[in-house]
Amino acid sequence: MLLENLQLEKSDLPLLGNVDYSPHPKDYRDMRLLILMIVMFLLSGFWIMQLVFLNMTAMGVIFLIWVGLLSLILLEEIKGFKKRGYALRQRDITYKKGFLIHSQTTIPFNRVQHCETTQGPLSRAFGLMSLKVFTAGGASSDLRISGLRPEEANRLKDFITEASSTYE
């Protein structure tokens, strides 16, 4: 039981770097791009309004900033999508994401409080579902994995719930 008293060499550690990550279905990227387009469309009204009040130079500068931002976001979305993925191990789940800022978040199952799957109207249209893993304490340490197939999300939820309830 007292595994923690074993002498441990650094080379004996189970490595997280070696695991394979499961990617999201392509639909998830399409959904994100669609949301991006909707947001852009809504914001474009704001820019057109500016056109009435500003002169051409100011407009040009704003337009350039706008294009720069947009291409950065598109770069993040398209390059970043390939970087997204989750990995299950026997005792923890890891989710990685992000191109410009890449992050890998790991939650051990014995620290999970509960699990939830949610599906909004848009993700239902795309046949996707989100999984939320809650830990104790603040929301900053919770994990959310969006854009999973419903059966996969539910399987993950059941697996994590099962795994976390075997611990004290």
Partner 1 sequence: MSEYKFEEFNHQNILGVVIIFAQSVRKMLNAYLAFFAYSIFSDGIGKYAWWFFGISLVFTAVTSVLKYRNFRFKLDDTQLVLNSGIFTKDVMNIPLDRIQSVQMHQNFIQRILGITGLKIDTAGSSSEELEIPALKRKKAESLLELLKGKIRNEDLPKSDERMEESSEVLKKKSLKETLVNLDFKAILVLAITENHIRNGLIAVAFIMGYAGQYLDYSEQFVVDVFDDYAPELVESGIALIIVFVFTFLLLSVLLSFIQVILKFFDFKAEVDDQSFYISSGLIKRNEFTIPLKKIQFLEWKTNLLRKRLGFESISIHQGRSVESVGKNLLEIPSCYSEQTEKVMETLYTELVDDDYFFLLQPHTYQRVFRALVLSLFGIPFFLIALIATEEFVVFSGLYLVYVFVMIAAAEKYYQSINLWVNEEVIIYERGWIFPKRTVVKLHKFQTVELTQTVFQAKRNICHLTFSTAAGGRSFRFFDKNEMEELRDFVLYKTESFTGKWM
> What is the rounded distance in angstroms from the CA atom of residue 67 to the CA atom of residue 47?
12
Residue 99 sits at φ, ψ, to 5 deg, of: -100, -55
Q: Which of residues 119-138 bind partner 1 (CB under 8 A)?
A: 119-121, 134-138
How many chain residues bind partner 1 (CB under 8 A)? 53
Query: Are 62 and 50 within 8 A, CB to CB?
Result: yes
> What is the rounded distance in angstroms from the CA atom of residue 4 to the CA atom of residue 95?
26
We find the least distance from the C-beta atom of residue 29 to partner 1, in angstroms, to be 20
In one-letter notation, the amino acid at residue 21 is Y
Q: Which of 40, 67, 141, 155 binds partner 1 (CB under 8 A)?
A: 141
Nearer to partner 1, 63 or 105 (CB): 105
Q: Which H/E stretch holds residue 144?
A: strand 143-148
The 82-121 contact track toward partner 1, x by CB under 8 A, reads ---------xx------xxxxxxxxxxxxx-xxxxxxxxx
We find the least distance from the C-beta atom of residue 93 to partner 1, in angstroms, to be 11
